[in-house]
Amino acid sequence: MSGGAVAEAAPVKKEMAIEISELIKSYGGFRALNGVNIDIQRGEIHSLVGQNGAGKSTLLGILSGRTAPSEGSVRIFGSELHYGDPRSSRKLGVATIYQELTIAPNLSALENVFLGQLLSVKGFISRKRMTKRYMELCALMGVNISPLQRAGNMSIADQQMLEIMRGLQLDAGILILDEPTASLAPPERKSLLKTIKTLQAGGITIIYVSHHLDEVLELSDSVTILRNGEKIVTQPRAYWTKDKLVSSMLGAEVAEEIVRVTQETRHEDAAPGPELLRATGVTVPGAIEDIAITLHAGEIVGIGGLVGSGRTTLVRALAGLEPKSTGSLWIEGKQVKWPREPGYPMSLGIALAPEDRKHQGLVLGMSCEDNINMVNFSQVKKLGFYRKAKAGHIADGLSKRFGLTRPIHTLCRNLSGGNQQKVLLAKVCNLRPKVLIVDEPTRGIDIGVKVEVLKILRQLANEGMAIVIISSELEEVIAVSNRVLVLSKGRLVKELSQRSEISVDHILQATF
Ligand SMILES: Nc1ncnc2c1ncn2[C@@H]1O[C@H](COP(=O)(O)OP(=O)(O)OP(=O)(O)O)[C@@H](O)[C@H]1O
Ligand SMILES: [Mg+2]
């Protein structure tokens, strides 16, 4: 393990794993971090909590050596970190797990763990040494994953375990996790939290970023709140409650507003409007089979089920993104050709905000404004001229509605994760579809804006859209849905249509 041994005679003073002092990060005139000081003790789980754009990922980027700060310093186990050099940070024992997985699907579990860092004996690559180390890592994490299994066949949760094993391979003393549970289903989240605790028991210091405040409370020894690039406070776990976290990250008034709005988003049962979409026999070989779904104006339909149950495949098929899919489709009662190419469903009025916003949803090299308007150039073009003012006006209105915290000319690449999600939602709403499908719409969005997003979905439904929502947050699905369809292993196993039936218990019961 990195760092010096603790002097036995020094009783009270705890050893610091990380000392961050007066850290500033400027992007042009904008300060993503503004004079941050944090001390993190060896062996603790320290969480960073804050709204979208608060500066969490920026701070982690500096610790991992990816980003160079403008001013200030960081010491890791007493040694000064050399900025902007990921190797320096690794040498000091920092392993960083980013939200996007970097697993190579065609390689085995073992090969993935040692990707780019093969172990050798006397200059020869040693499979035996790697297998031994692999088994040690499995034991350290309390997991059991066959080294020979092809990574592409593994669940996202197991792939993430590999990612952590790869990070810990070189005796890391500090593990940094940026929203690691964002794409996991509830049971998988639980097991990841258990693994994190096991690692801590093995002496590893952990820095944890998550918008799931329950997880933060369950795991942390201490919590630091960031707001607008500044540290608001660091306190030990005993100090915190969920309410305190919320009011500290948002300010007390906003926190009260949220409670009010949450109550408003709960809807009453209402008679559904006319049928907008009906699909039958929806099949994608190897993924989903013979699913039927009907959507009416004014309703929100939730799709329940575990990760891997076929939820995303079903909505991708409706959006023309599954070339091997088959089925029959009616739009407003009229049968139309089954969609197998993406542009065509859009012309029928079906829009999808995909779960993978980076690869499918947004053009990262373009501004927020252009991303929002690119779906709908006809609105902002007149006699062949692009109407800049009109485009700006539309983009501005939509991004304000979704709580974007940066100016609309910002490149999407330079937005925080949560802000990118808001631009994606603004973009699909700008299409003004009849049927709006949102897959994990609040992933990575802070609690302040989450409620706002649900409220907007409810408004859009009230204005006559049909909305389909997939979310790993069952509470969210329950709060907004008029009906819930539960999928399991690619089949529709249950439809819950009475308000009283729609509950976490019923959904989970139907799933298992
Ligand atoms: N390369 C960059 N150029 C300009 N601004 C940037 C760049 N990288 C980050 N920023 C800005 O710095 C601020 C902090 O972003 P950061 O990604 O650290 O937020 P975050 O706390 O991780 O938020 P989230 O919860 O949404 O992930 C944001 O306003 C972001 O737009
Ligand atoms: Mg972030």
CATH number, residue 325: 3.40.50.300
The whole-angstrom separation of Cα 254 and Cα 22 is 28
Same-domain pairing of 329 and 476? yes
Residue of 415, 442, 447 best suited for mutating to test ligand 1, as the one with most atoms within 8 Å of CB: 415
Ligand nearest to the CA of 443: 1
Same-domain pairing of 375 and 504? no
Q: Would 356 be classed as within a structural domain?
A: no
Residue of 416, 419, 447, 449 best suited for mutating to test ligand 1, as the one with most atoms within 8 Å of CB: 416
Higher pLDDT, 10 or 400: 400
Helix axes 127-141 and 156-168, enclosed angle (nearest 10): 110
Tell me how crowded residue 469 is: count the other CB atoms within 10 A of its CB.
Answer: 24
Ligand nearest to the CA of 421: 1
Using pLDDT thresholds of 50, 70 and 90, give the confidence band for residue 3: very low
Q: Tell me the mean pLDDT in the region 335-356.
A: 89
* Burial status of residue 237 (CB atoms within 10 A of its CB: 0-12, 13-18, 19 or more): middle
Element (H, E) at 111: helix 109-113
Higher pLDDT, 263 or 428: 428
Is residue 406 within 6 Å of ligand 1 at its C-beta?
Answer: yes
Q: Which atom of ligand 1 is nearest to the CA of 418?
A: 26
Backbone conformation region of residue 494, classed left if phi is above 0, alpha if psi is from -120 to 50, else beta? beta
Is the per-residue pLDDT at 216 higher than 70? yes
The whole-angstrom separation of Cα 412 and Cα 163 is 26
Element (H, E) at 39: strand 30-41
CA 457 to ligand 1 centroid distance, Å: 26
Is residue 417 within 6 Å of ligand 1 at its C-beta?
Answer: yes
Using pLDDT thresholds of 50, 70 and 90, give the confidence band for residue 1: very low
Same-domain pairing of 472 and 408? no
Q: What percent of the chain lies above the pLDDT cut of 70?
A: 89
What letter would DSSP give residue 366? S
Is the per-residue pLDDT at 223 higher than 60? yes
Same-domain pairing of 191 and 207? yes
What letter would DSSP give residue 361? I
CA 77 to ligand 1 centroid distance, Å: 27
Tell me how crowded residue 498 is: count the other CB atoms within 10 A of its CB.
Answer: 9
Is the per-residue pLDDT at 320 higher than 80? yes
Q: Tell me the mean pLDDT in the region 167-194.
A: 84
Bridge partners, residue 466, by sequence: 435
Bridge partners, residue 487, by sequence: 492
Give the position of tokens 């089925």: 327
Q: Tell me the mean pLDDT in the region 286-299.
A: 94
CA 435 to ligand 2 centroid distance, Å: 30
Same-domain pairing of 249 and 261? no
What was the pLDDT predicted at 296?
A: 95
What was the pLDDT predicted at 257?
A: 61
What letter would DSSP give residue 364? T
Cβ pair 440, 457 in contact under 8 A: no
Least-confidence region, from 45-54, 164-173, 386-395: 386-395
Q: Which atom of ligand 1 is nearest to the CA of 419?
A: 26
Q: Would 8 be classed as within a structural domain?
A: no
Same-domain pairing of 180 and 203? yes
Q: Would 357 be classed as within a structural domain?
A: no
Cβ pair 24, 33 in contact under 8 A: yes
* Ligand 1 atom 6: residue of nearest CA: 414
Is residue 416 within 6 Å of ligand 1 at its C-beta?
Answer: yes
pTM assigned to the model: 0.77
Q: Would 472 be classed as within a structural domain?
A: yes
* Ligand 1 atom 19: residue of nearest CA: 53
The whole-angstrom separation of Cα 218 and Cα 205 is 16
CA 460 to ligand 1 centroid distance, Å: 29
Q: What percent of the chain lies above the pLDDT cut of 90?
A: 42
Of 221, 256, 291, which one is at a domain's C-terminal end? 256
The whole-angstrom separation of Cα 330 and Cα 341 is 17
Most confidently modeled of 310-314, 331-335, 356-360, 423-427? Answer: 331-335
Is residue 419 within 6 Å of ligand 1 at its C-beta?
Answer: yes
User: What strands lie across the sheet with 275-284, from one edge to the other?
Assistant: 288-296, 275-284, 326-331, 334-336
CA 350 to ligand 2 centroid distance, Å: 30
Same-domain pairing of 236 and 280? no
The whole-angstrom separation of Cα 315 and Cα 318 is 5
Domain total of the chain: 3
Is the per-residue pLDDT at 308 higher than 80? no
Is the per-residue pLDDT at 418 higher than 70? yes
Tell me how crowded residue 254 is: count the other CB atoms within 10 A of its CB.
Answer: 14
Most confidently modeled of 143-157, 370-384, 440-454? Answer: 143-157
Is residue 420 within 6 Å of ligand 1 at its C-beta?
Answer: no
Is the per-residue pLDDT at 447 higher than 90? no
Is residue 210 within 6 Å of ligand 1 at its C-beta?
Answer: no
* Ligand 1 atom 1: residue of nearest CA: 414
Is the per-residue pLDDT at 110 higher than 60? yes
Q: Where are the alpha helices (DSSP H) in 114-212?
A: 127-141, 156-168, 186-201
Same-domain pairing of 61 and 109? yes
Least-confidence region, from 54-58, 253-257, 297-301, 460-464: 253-257
Least-confidence region, from 334-343, 392-401, 499-508: 499-508
Residue of 24, 49, 57, 216 best suited for mutating to test ligand 1, as the one with most atoms within 8 Å of CB: 57
Q: Would 234 be classed as within a structural domain?
A: yes
Same-domain pairing of 200 and 59? yes
CA 56 to ligand 2 centroid distance, Å: 6
Q: Would 7 be classed as within a structural domain?
A: no
Same-domain pairing of 342 and 448? yes
Q: Would 457 be classed as within a structural domain?
A: yes
Helix, coil or strand: residue 311: helix
Q: Tell me the mean pLDDT in the region 5-21.
A: 71
The two structure tokens encoding residue 159 = 């792939």
Higher pLDDT, 451 or 94: 94
Average predicted confidence (pLDDT) for the chain: 85
**Cα dist. 29→26, 32, 71 in Å?**
7, 10, 14
Of 237, 256, 275, which one is at a domain's C-terminal end? 256
Ligand nearest to the CA of 61: 1
Most confidently modeled of 6-20, 108-122, 266-280, 428-442? Answer: 428-442
Is residue 414 within 6 Å of ligand 1 at its C-beta?
Answer: yes
Is residue 90 within 6 Å of ligand 1 at its C-beta?
Answer: no
What was the pLDDT predicted at 382?
A: 53
Is the per-residue pLDDT at 70 higher than 70? yes
Same-domain pairing of 220 and 81? yes
Cβ pair 288, 282 in contact under 8 A: yes
What was the pLDDT predicted at 341?
A: 87
Is the per-residue pLDDT at 2 higher than 50? no
Query: b/e map of 277-297 (b: 16 or more CB within 10 Å)?
Result: bbbeebbbeebbeebebbbbb
Higher pLDDT, 165 or 472: 165
Of 208, 224, 256, which one is at a domain's C-terminal end? 256
Q: Would 4 be classed as within a structural domain?
A: no
Same-domain pairing of 279 and 374? no
Cβ pair 510, 477 in contact under 8 A: no
Ligand nearest to the CA of 62: 1
Range of the domain at 107: 16-256
Q: Tell me the mean pLDDT in the region 301-314.
A: 86
* Burial status of residue 27 (CB atoms within 10 A of its CB: 0-12, 13-18, 19 or more): exposed
